[in-house]
Amino acid sequence: MTTQLNPVDYAKAIQFQLSGIVTPTPVYANFNRNYAKEPLFLTWQLRDVHQPVYTGQTQSNKGIDRPTFQMSVFGQSMANTFNLSNDILQSLHGYSGMFGDPDNNGFFIAKADVVWLYNSYDNELGLHQVFMDCTIDVPA
């Protein structure tokens, strides 16, 4: 049986991939209220890493790992928040290929699925928010 990648590798690849999509917008691994002073930023959290799912007649092959990470786009302007979220959707949804830095822990993914969960507004922070999930299919 094959094994899944180390969550550290997933984290490095997620940071690299998202930074490449939204540059020059800052990308952070988790939310910190200090970021709220920025007009637009993105955070992500690795939410679901589990063992590979095996398919087919021979269960010891055709393994696939399906980690999920949540992305949260925060912005002072609703238009900018929605536009950046759309850029992420257009770039990631259905993506297949190298995920992360090919020279440093990047890996091939068969497919990325992005789901726009919901949008909100935080009165206290004065920020529009869009929350999305991305599940990547990683052949193991």
pLDDT tens readout for residues 52-96: 566 555 555 556 788 999 999 999 999 999 999 999 999 999 999
The band of 130, judged by pLDDT with boundaries at 50, 70 and 90, is very high
H-type alpha helices, 50-136: 78-92
Using alpha carbons only, what angle is made at residue 97 by residues 109 and 19, rounded to the nearest 5 degrees? Answer: 90
Query: For position 58, what pLDDT does the model report?
Result: 58
Q: pTM, whole model, 2 decimals?
A: 0.87
Architecture (CATH level 2) of domain 7-76+88-139: 2-Layer Sandwich (3.30)
Tell me the average pLDDT of the chain: 88
110: its two tokens: 């068969």
